[in-house]
Structures are given as structure tokens and as C-alpha cells.
Structure 1
Amino acid sequence: MKKQITLLAAIFALWSTGYAQAPQEPMRLSLQESINYALQHRASLQAARNEEKIAKARVGEIRSAGLPQLNATVDAGDNFIQQQSFLPSEFFQNQDNPPPLGTFVPVTFAPAYTSNATITGSQLLFDGTYLIGLKAASTYTELSRKNTQRSEIEVAEQVSKAYYSVLVNSERMQLLTQNLVRLDTLLSQTSTMYENGVAEKLDVDRLSVQRNNLLVEQQKTQRLMAISENLLKFQMGLNQAQPVLLVDELAEVEIDMSQVYPQDFDYANRIEFSILETQRDLASFQVQADKAGYLPKLFLNARYGYNAASNEFRDITRTGNYLEYGFVGVQLQLPIFDGLRKHYLIQQSKLALENTKLGFETLRQSIDMELAQASTELTNALDVLDARKANMVLAEEIARVAKIKFQEGVGTNLEVVSAETDLREAQTNYYAAMYDALIAKVNLSRATGTLHSK
């Protein structure tokens, strides 16, 4: 009975610490699903969207300056040291003791206690800088939206490359497993031949060495597979503990040849070009806003309130002792001289606008170079891929023939080992070329602005 209780306690302990939990189901993902998940869950994109919301809030802050501004103030105080003023002594004629002429007498006008309750309001009627700011508000929001789109494109690029890395490593893993099965079969057959006196011990040893090398390569590929999966999860914003299962298959790299060295490329397809256009518009608005600083400003102001004053505190606590007052009027502010501040501001904004315009030519040259480089890399990668594929097919045939010759006694075991080594090298080179071609395809899509277009 004690043993049963101890066993139940151990099972409960394991369950309570999480060891009895069922493993998570793998998440099935295509490339597009991986990108969509990243667009929703990647922390950097969430931060970019928050910046977009901040930009919209700043636009609201700018607009608020043109709305009515209302404030209420209530204050009460004790003039514990009452301010005094001076009046000429002639105001205080005393027949019995006349004061000297030309002297002043200190007089207290301020009461001991004062109180005031006021509501003030103002409305901007005209401000050229504010009007330009309203025009630039929508452009500022558009710039923030485009920055978010650029971040989305970068995430789509990173996820695509990580996804292809997992696919290539997975395919290599399957191929290594097949090679290992084939080599195990050959080793078993050779061992039988050795036992029957048909093969030598050296033949068995060579195949054993080959098998050990293949096992090491399989383990290395398995570790690379785990690293590439972790990188994909990181790029997606997925929990590292969540297993994934990629549903896309590694097929031949297909490419729209019209994208390679495009003749009628539209620079507006690139988000960087669109962002620079928006920055140019904002720089232009800044020049207009600085120039508008020379225009007058017109405000409508109003005040309404009550005040009370007395030498007794209880008097200012009674509403009947408060006096009503009000004011309404307009205020015109005319800029006359500010030490040439606006003049230098305009100089700065004009130069900033000119620099933005100069950036278009630099960006065009950069895009042209990127297009040419991506096109060349993809063309070279496809050529290498074709050659590596042909080499792999040829190596497979050589390995097959070498095995048959050895089994029939007309070939040597050394030929088999050499053929297997060449086959593995050809397979490794083929999948490396496949990965390079896929990455070159992603780079070209990014260069042409078609990687993640909305």
C-alpha cells in the first residue's frame, strides 16, 4: 500500500511540475501565412503602428490650437504685507499741522483680503502658420503610414529568407536520411560478402567510416535545422516553444524574367522613393510656415468673473460682496522685429528642402545599382543552380553504377566510397545553390518593390 501511495505521489508531482503536460501541436505554416502572422505579431511592427498612432495624435494636437481655449481661475489671498503708494502731501491738508510742501505721504489702497473668480476664453481667428500646419497635418500622417509600410516590407523579407532556410535544411535532412539508409544497406551487403569471403575487411571499414561521416553530417544538419526554425520563429514574433510545420515544398526557383533588368521600372514602386516624396512635401510646407511667420495674428479674447475685497476674511466668503465684471475684444499681433530669427529659419527650411530634392537623384542611382546587382545575382544563381543540379544527377548515376559494379565483382569498394563522397558533395552544393537562388529572388522582389505591395 505504501508503494502505491508513493507512486501516486510521484505521478502527481510530475504532473504538477508540467512533465505530464501534452506536447503542443505544431503550427502548420505556408510562406504567406508566416508573413501574415509576422505582420500581426512582430513586436517591431507593433511599435511602428504605435508610432503611426502617435503621429495621428500629434496632428490632433496641432488642430487643437485652432479651437476655442477656455480656462477658469479661482483665487483668494491674504495681503499680509499690504502694498502702499505715495500721494502728495497737499492731499492731506491739516490746518493745525500743515505738512511741508513737496513731500509725499504713504497710503495703503490694497485691502487685507482679496478674492477673484474668472473665466477666460480665446479663439484664434487668423494665423498663417497654423493654416499651413493644417495642410501639412495629413502629409505628416501619410509619412508615418509609409514608414510602417516600409517596416512591413522589411519583415516580409526577413521572414521569407528564414522560411526558405528552413525548407532547404529540411530537404537536406531528408536527403541525408535517404543516403544513410542506402549506405546502411550497402554496408550490410558488404559485411555479408566479407563473411562469405567475397569482400575484404578493408571494404567494410571504408563503408563504416563513410557511415560515421554521414551520421556526423546528419547531426550537424539537424542542429542547423533547429537554429533556422528558431530564427523563423523570431522573425515571425512566434514563441520559441511553439513547434512549426512548414507546408510549402521546395520546388524549382521560378522567376518572372521581366523583373530581371527591367527596362520600364517605375521608381514609385519603391517605398523609399514614396517616403522621400512625402518628406519633400513636408519640407515645402515648412518653408511656407516659416514665411507665414511674418503675417499678423488675430485673436478673439473674452473674460468674465467676480471679485471681492475686504479687510475682514469673512466678507470675501459671502457671495453678496462679489462684484461682476466682463470683457470681450480682439487682439492683433503684428511682428515687427525679432532679431532676424524668422529670416534664418526660412534659410534653414529652404536648404532642407533643397537637400530633400537632391536626395531623389541619389536614391534613383541607388535603386538602379540595387536592381542591377539583384538581377545579376539572380542570373548567376540560376546558372549555378542548373549546373549543380546536373552535377547531382550525374553523381547519383555514378554512385548507382559504382555500387552495381562492386556487387558484381567488377568494381572496387574504393570506387563506391569515392562515388558516395562525390554524391554528398554534389547534393550539398545543389541545396546551397538552391538557397542562394531563393535569396536572390527575394532580393530582386525587394529591389523591384513587389515583395510586399498593398
Structure 2
Amino acid sequence: MRILSFVLCLLVVGYSATAQQYSLKQCIDTALNRNILVQQTGLQMQSAEIDKNQAKMNLLPNVNSRWNYGNNFGRNVDPITNTYTNNQLSSSNAGLDAGVILFNGMRLQNLIQQTNFSHKAAELDYKQAKDNLVLNVILSYMQVLVSEDVLNVSRAQLLVTKKQIERMEIMVKEGSAGNFQLTDMKGQMANEQISIVNLENNLQQAKLTLCQLMNIPYEAGMQLERTIQLNENLYAQSSPEVIEAALQYMALVKANEYRVKSAEKNILVAKSGYYPTISLGASAGSSYSNLFTRLTPTTISEVETGTYIKSGSARTPVYREIQNFSTSSVSYFKQMENNLGFFAGVNMQIPIFNNLQTKNRVRQAKLQLKNTQLNAENTNYQLKQNIEQAWLNMQTSYNRYAMLKDQLANFEESFRAAEVRFESGVINAAEFLIAKNNLDRSKINLVQTQYEYSFRTRVLDFYQGK
């Protein structure tokens, strides 16, 4: 039996030695780096930043090149001579086009401001997601600690019960106590053992929750550093003070404010459709045709004109000189060089009637603004409700904690007296167990309430951006 106990002790020590120990900072950093929801919120922030940068780039000119080459069959228009031909035609066009918007109802400028507000809102959403995760990690971290403390208190209570059972077994053998008292004590020990099993399960559930927040595999043997200070003093800020700080500092509230500003700018973007669009454009281009040929002068020929000179009865024909040419094809790049042309001009597009699209876009933008304002108002309203409930829970926890401290001191004194009287045979096991159960419950309730009060204070700190 001793050898088996020694082996079990070695296994426990070895398991504890290999179990990883986490500090609160490590848990928070791991969760922030691995949590999928936070990463997705970060991607949304990056997407909003891209939209903001693109809105700024829209002010720059557009420059595009073009090129094509193709064959035409049948009757076609030669792009070089602009005449009809029935020959197979191979043609090509190339060019460079540039344009810049000079005025479009301030649409681009308002779009820059709108996307800038949207990006700021996305940044605050990312901060809020991280803050929410940090708070949940802290609360889960503390839940593991309170589960460990309650489990340790219960195990200490079990040792006291076992000690009394050992003493009761001796008294039963000596005939100074009845066997029913021993069975009562053993029944009490069974209840405490069942309670320990449940508490061990609660501890593992708390560790599982913490591991899931950190997005790491479940570690049943994980150990946590006890660096969190538990609050014992009454919380300093009142409920209205917490609400005022939350409305001023919470990222969620600020994000909604930027969304409202973005929706306001969206109305101006929609109204820009009522104004004309003025743009400046320029282009350079050239073309090629396989039917285009170069004429080179060669010989000069004399041909009759059909007229003559009459001298008396004699007629002398009149001739004229004709320049003869030889034809040769012109290369692709030479034609492109020779046919190069340029264009520059101003374009104005004035909206007259577009099926009421602009009007309906403005109406939709106004409705979106109203909905965004209602969402912000509802968020602030729910935030006030949550803070009021959290502050009330904190106050209740503190009052319970103060009363339980006094109760524990009284039950400790009662148990010491009951233990002395039980060992002296003045009271029976049932009376002793009542005193012990009162003390046990008081210890567990005090530990739980102290952590609960710390939970509540940290939630209130969270609302104030601390």
C-alpha cells in the first residue's frame, strides 16, 4: 500500500512538473493572437483602410493603353484611306488615353471623408473586439482561480471529516460512542467526496473555457499564476459616473458616432448625382492597315491626250508626260509612327433625367442615416442598462461579502466550541456536523463571493475603458 501511494505521488509530481504554467498576460496575448473573431475584425479594419486609400486615389488621373489587331473579310472600310475595299483587310490600332475628373458635385471629396469615418469606426470595432476578449479572458482566468480555491477549501474540510472519523472509530471500539454516530460521519464524508468530484469538474470546465478563449488545445493540468489582486473595498465610482465614463471612452460608443458621420457624408455623396460632371481628357493613337502601300517614282511615259494641233490639213497629236510609280508595303511600326495623332479636350455630362435614380439614392441614404442613428441610440441605451445592472450586482456582492466575513468569524468560533464539546462527549455527531457544515458553507460562500465581487468591479472598470 505504501509503495502504491509512493508511485502515485511520483506520478502526480511528474504531471505537475510537465503542466504548463500561464500568467494572465500570457493568456491575454495568446488569446489576442489566436482568436478568430478578433482576427476577422482586424481584416474588416484593413478592408476599410483600403477603401479609404482608394477614395483618395480616385482624385488622380486615369491612364490606360489600348491595342488591337484583327482580320476583316468582305467589303470593309480601310482605316487608313477611309475607302471601301473588297480585299481581305488586316488592321491594328494602338493608343494611350488619360482623363481626370475636374468636378462632379464634390462626390470624390465627400467619399474620402465618408470612408475615413468608416475606417475610424472599423478601428474602434477592432479595439472593442480585443477589449471584449481581454475581459472574458480575465473573468475566465479568475473563474479557474476561484474554482481552485473552492476545491482546496472542500479538500481541507474533507481532511477534517476524515480526522473525526478516525477518532470516532476508536471511540466506537472503546464503546464510548455509538456506531450510528460513526455512520453519520461516514455519510458526511461521502457527501463531501461527491461535492469534491463536482468541484473538480467545475474546475476543468473553467480551464476548458479559458483554453477555448485562447484557441489552444484543452490542457487539464494547466497552472495559473496567482497575480490577480482581489478587491475588498467598496467600489469608488457611482453608477452615473460609470455611465458617463463609458459614453465618453468606450470604443463601441465612439465607433457608432463615426458611423453616424459616415452616413451623413453618404447623403452628400448621393446628392452629387444632381450636379454635372466635368472631366479633362487626352489621348494619343495610331493605326495600321496591310492595304496601305508606299508609291516610289520610277519612269516617265508619254501618252496621247486625245487632242491634236491642226496645221493646214495636217494634224499633229498632243502628248503628255505621266509619272510612273512602283508600290511597296509599309511595315507595321513605320505606319504606327507615320499615323500618330493626338487629342485633348474637356467633357461635360449634365444629368437631365435618369429615372429618378439620384433622388431614390438620396432617400435611401437618409433612411440609412436614420437607422444608424437609431442603432447608436439603442446601443447607448443598452449600455446604460447593462452598467446599471452591473453596478447593482456589484453592490449586492459587496454587501454579501461583508456579511459573510462576519458570518465566517462567528461560525469559526462556534465550530471550535463544538469540536471541543464533541471530543468531550457533550454533544453528539449530528450537532457537531451541523456546526461543521455551517462553517464549510460559510468558507465556500465567502471565497465565491469575494471573487464574484472582484468580477463585478472588473466589469465596471471595463465599461470605463480601464
Q: TM-score range by the shorter chain?
A: 0.7 to 0.9
TM-score (norm: length of structure 1): 0.81
Contact kept? 1:72, 1:117, Cα under 8 Å: yes
TM-score (norm: length of structure 2): 0.79
Cross-structure match for 2:254 = 274
Aligned mates of 1:310, 1:280 — CA distance in 2: 62
The alpha-carbon distance between structure 1 residues 330 and 384, as it changes in their structure 2 partners (threshold 3 A), is same
In the TM superposition, residue 225 of structure 1 has moved relative to its aligned partner by: 0.5
For residues 134-163 of structure 1, give each alpha carbon's deviation from its aligned partner in whole angstroms, at most 9, with x where no partner exists. Answer: 222321210110111111221122112212
Cross-structure match for 2:350 = 334
Aligned mates of 1:84, 1:122 — CA distance in 2: 29
Cross-structure match for 2:71 = 78
* Equivalent of residue 183 in structure 1, options 131, 140, 161: 161
Aligned mates of 2:380, 2:94 — CA distance in 1: 63
Aligned mates of 2:93, 2:65 — CA distance in 1: 11
The alpha-carbon distance between structure 1 residues 49 and 254, as it changes in their structure 2 partners (threshold 3 A), is farther
> Quick check: which one's strand share is greater?
2
Cross-structure match for 2:193 = 215
Give, as a single letter, the amino acid of the residue that structure 2 aligns with 1:324.
L
Bigger drift between 414-423 and 219-228 goes to 414-423
Cross-structure match for 1:265 = 244
In the TM superposition, residue 113 of structure 1 has moved relative to its aligned partner by: 1.1
Cross-structure match for 1:52 = 45
Aligned mates of 1:41, 1:436 — CA distance in 2: 28
Aligned mates of 1:275, 1:24 — CA distance in 2: 45
Aligned mates of 2:329, 2:16 — CA distance in 1: 79
In the TM superposition, residue 361 of structure 1 has moved relative to its aligned partner by: 4.7
Q: Pairwise mapping of residues 121-140 of structure 1 onto structure 2 (< 5 A)?
A: 121-127=98-104, 128-140=106-118
Aligned mates of 2:253, 2:199 — CA distance in 1: 41
In the TM superposition, residue 62 of structure 1 has moved relative to its aligned partner by: 2.2
* Equivalent of residue 410 in structure 1, options 418, 426, 446: 426
- Runs of 5+ consecutive residues of structure 1 not aligned to the other structure: 1-19, 86-105
Contact kept? 2:114, 2:263, Cα under 8 Å: no
- What secondary structure is seen at the aligned counterpart in 1 of 2:340? strand
- What secondary structure is seen at the aligned counterpart in 2 of 1:122? strand
For residues 384-437 of structure 1, give each alpha carbon's deviation from its aligned partner in whole angstroms, at most 9, with x where no partner exists. Answer: 222233333333332322221111121212212222233333333334433432
For residues 339-368 of structure 1, give each alpha carbon's deviation from its aligned partner in whole angstroms, at most 9, with x where no partner exists. Answer: 222122222222333444455554444333
Give, as a single letter, the amino acid of the residue that structure 2 aligns with 1:235.
L
Bigger drift between 323-332 and 429-438 goes to 429-438
- What secondary structure is seen at the aligned counterpart in 2 of 1:399? helix
Aligned mates of 1:319, 1:310 — CA distance in 2: 12
Give identity over the alignment, percent. 18
Bigger drift between 218-227 and 354-363 goes to 354-363
Aligned mates of 2:369, 2:51 — CA distance in 1: 22
Cross-structure match for 1:103 = none
Give, as a single letter, the amino acid of the residue that structure 2 aligns with 1:26.
Q
Give, as a single letter, the amino acid of the residue that structure 2 aligns with 1:71.
N
Structural RMSD (CA): 3.0
Aligned mates of 1:402, 1:315 — CA distance in 2: 122
* Equivalent of residue 321 in structure 1, options 331, 335, 340: 335
Aligned mates of 1:358, 1:206 — CA distance in 2: 64
Aligned mates of 1:171, 1:72 — CA distance in 2: 73
- Runs of 5+ consecutive residues of structure 2 not aligned to the other structure: 1-13, 294-327
Bigger drift between 200-209 and 137-146 goes to 200-209
Contact kept? 1:171, 1:250, Cα under 8 Å: no
The alpha-carbon distance between structure 1 residues 81 and 403, as it changes in their structure 2 partners (threshold 3 A), is farther
Aligned mates of 1:79, 1:23 — CA distance in 2: 83
Matched, 1:243 2:218: no
Aligned mates of 1:110, 1:386 — CA distance in 2: 105
The alpha-carbon distance between structure 1 residues 148 and 316, as it changes in their structure 2 partners (threshold 3 A), is farther
Aligned mates of 1:259, 1:167 — CA distance in 2: 28
Q: Pairwise mapping of residues 38-437 of structure 1 onto structure 2 (< 5 A)?
A: 38-83=31-76, 108=85, 112-127=89-104, 128-241=106-219, 243-248=222-227, 251-262=230-241, 265-266=244-245, 267-311=247-291, 318-322=332-336, 323-359=339-375, 361-437=377-453
Give, as a single letter, the amino acid of the residue that structure 1 aligns with 2:70.
G
Aligned residues: 410
- What secondary structure is seen at the aligned counterpart in 2 of 1:416? helix
Aligned mates of 1:296, 1:420 — CA distance in 2: 88
- What secondary structure is seen at the aligned counterpart in 1 of 2:39? helix
- What secondary structure is seen at the aligned counterpart in 1 of 2:407? helix
Aligned mates of 1:417, 1:316 — CA distance in 2: 115
Aligned mates of 1:83, 1:22 — CA distance in 2: 89
